Chain A
Amino acid sequence: MPTNLTFDRTKQRALPIWLLILTALLIIARVVSTKYPVTSETDVVRKSAPSLVRWTPISLASAAALRSHRPILYEFSAEWCGPCHILEREVFMDRALAAKINDRYIAVQVVDRQREEGHNEPAVQELMDRYNVNAFPTIVIAAADGKPRVKDVGYEGRDQFAALIDRVR
Chain B
Amino acid sequence: MSLVVIAETLRRHFAHLGYIAALLILIVIVVTMAAIGAPSQAPYEMIGLFTLIAGCQLIGPEFSKGTLQLILSKPVGRSAYLVSRVVGVVLAIWVAILVMFASDVIGRLIAGTTISWRTALSTMLVAALKALLVCCLLAFFGSFSRSYVNVAIYVGGQILSSMIFGLLTMMKSAVSGEMGKIGALLRAHPGVLEGFAAIRRNVFPDGPIIPFDRNWILMMLCNASVALLLACVIFSRREVPYGAD
Residues of A within 8 A of B (CB): 4-5, 7, 11-16, 19-20, 22-23, 26-27, 29-30, 33-34, 37-38, 40-41, 79-83, 85-86, 118-119, 154-157, 159-160
Contact = CB atoms under 8 A, between A and B. Distances in A.
Among B38, B72, B79, chain A packs the most CB atoms within 10 A around the CB of: B79
B77 interface: yes
Given A20-B229, A38-B214, A85-B209, A15 B222 contact: no
Contacts, number: 97
Nearest to B207: A82
A119 B75 contact: no
26 contacts: A5-B73, A7-B75, A12-B75, A13-B77, A13-B78, A14-B79, A15-B236, A16-B83, A19-B228, A22-B225, A23-B222, A26-B218, A26-B221, A26-B222, A26-B225, A29-B222, A30-B215, A38-B210, A40-B210, A79-B209, A118-B193, A119-B169, A156-B39, A157-B37, A157-B114, A160-B37
B interface residue count range (under 10 / 10 to 19 / 20 to 34 / 35 or more):
35 or more
A35 to B, nearest CB: 10
B80 A16 contact: yes
Classify the interface of chain B: helix, strand, loop or mixed. Answer: helix
Contact of B76 (A12, A37, A81): A12
Classify the interface of chain A: helix, strand, loop or mixed. Answer: helix
Nearest to A8: B75
Nearest to B212: A38
Contact of A19 (B73, B83, B206): B83
Interface string B208-226: 1111011100110110011
Give me the 4 closest cross-chain CB pairs, A-B, nearest first: A7-B75, A26-B222, A13-B236, A118-B169
Contact of B232 (A16, A30, A80): A16
B226 A33 contact: no
Contacts of B169: 118-119
Given A82-B211, A155-B39, A157-B114, A27 B222 contact: yes
Given A12-B75, A13-B78, A156 B210 contact: no
A122 B169 CA distance: 16
Among A16, A34, A154, chain B packs the most CB atoms within 10 A around the CB of: A16
Contacts of B74: 4
Interface string B5-45: 00000000000000000000000000000000111010000
A11 B76 CA distance: 9
Interface string B221-241: 110011011001100110000
